[in-house]
Amino acid sequence: MLDVKRMQVLRAVAASGSVTAAAAHLGYTPSAVSQQVAALERDTGVELLERVGRGVRPTAAGRLLIGHAAIISQHVAEAETALADLRAGRTGRLKVHYFASVGPTLLAPALARLRDEHPGVTVDPKLTEPQDSLPDVEQGNGDLAIVVRRPNDEGRPGIRLVRLLDDAYQAVLPAGHPLAAQQVVDLADLAGEPWVGSEPPGPCLEPIVDACAAAGFSPNFVARSEDYATGQGFVAAGLGVSLIPRLGLGTRHPGVTIRPVRRPEPIRTIYAAVREISLVQPALRALIDALMDATKEWNVGVPGSGRDMADPAAASHLR
């Protein structure tokens, strides 16, 4: 295999016209330059330089190698520039996995800010279920995933979880329901009601089931929907009551009443999941910062949401 460094030495000798001049340019001794050229000639099996007066010039084989050395040097320079741009966050591509209710509320404003701060970075958002995207990040098939995990989840080896939001579930009641007259609904008061399920099995359903168990009952699901708009429609039609997280209530059905829940309050915790090794990317760090700020801004616009502010320690987790 040809030695690229030796090819560049040959190129310097040909450009300088002599071994001595090339050595001065490269900061080597003339003997070291001669040894590099001699080693390259042994590797190729042909003479690469010929003497002309007090100097040297490349042979046909030497000119061929010098041409390729110039191309290699150009490619290396381009690679160095591209790497510097990537390292500085001027270019690159980020694959982001998200689930439906965080798309318009958190991800959209975060991506808009990232575009302004890093216009050369391409973002590829992919809609997935909250429980499905973490393995993609672990396997390198995604750079960031917005996921639902249990509070204070420490994640997995090599994965950093940045806590974004504690998203409280709200009681969704048919208009005119007796409990709609209350400002806050005790979860136990829903024990005897028929329920409309709004979550598939997984991390978003677990907080509901766990909270109901703590209140002393298991919900009686008479209808199920895996999207919040249809769930509200079922409730408005009088099929039952439901619990839907605040992020899922951006568009409210006119036929339902929304009330906070207590004793206990079911909460799903939303994180940004990234690989530890990827946190050196400025664009990825900027996206996490933008997600955290989008969470704070969204909370400001939601009445009674001060307790759900993004984790103030999350930013320190990126250091």
pLDDT tens per residue across span 20-49: 999 999 999 999 999 999 999 999 999 999
The closest alpha carbon to 308, from 246, 221, 215, belongs to 246
Domains identified in the chain and CATH numbers: 4-88 (1.10.10.10), 92-165+270-318 (3.40.190.10), 166-267 (3.40.190.10)
Amino acid letter at 90? Answer: R
Query: Strand 144-149 vs strand 92-98: parallel, antiparallel, or unpaired?
Result: parallel
pLDDT (0 to 100) of residue 229: 94
Mean pLDDT of 217-226: 94
pLDDT band of 152, cuts 50, 70, 90: confident
Q: Is the pLDDT assigned to residue 199 strictly greater than 80? A: yes
CA atoms within 13 A on the CB side of 281: 22
264 preceded by a cis bond (ω within 30 of 0)? yes
Percent helix, percent strand, percent coil in the chain, to nearest 5? 45, 25, 30
CB atoms within 10 A of CB 12: 21
pLDDT tens per residue across span 231-259: 999 999 999 999 999 999 988 999 999 99
The closest alpha carbon to 315, from 302, 298, 296, belongs to 296
pLDDT tens per residue across span 92-129: 889 999 999 999 999 999 999 999 999 999 999 999 98
Mean pLDDT of 170-177: 96
Higher-confidence residue: 278 or 153? Answer: 278
29-38, 113-122, 143-152, 153-162: range with lowest mean pLDDT: 153-162
Query: What average pLDDT does the chain have?
Result: 90
What proportion of the chain, given as a percentage, has pLDDT over 90? 75
Q: Is the pLDDT assigned to residue 315 strictly greater than 50? A: no
- Angstrom distances, CA of residue 217 to CA of 121, 180, 220, 285: 50, 21, 9, 43
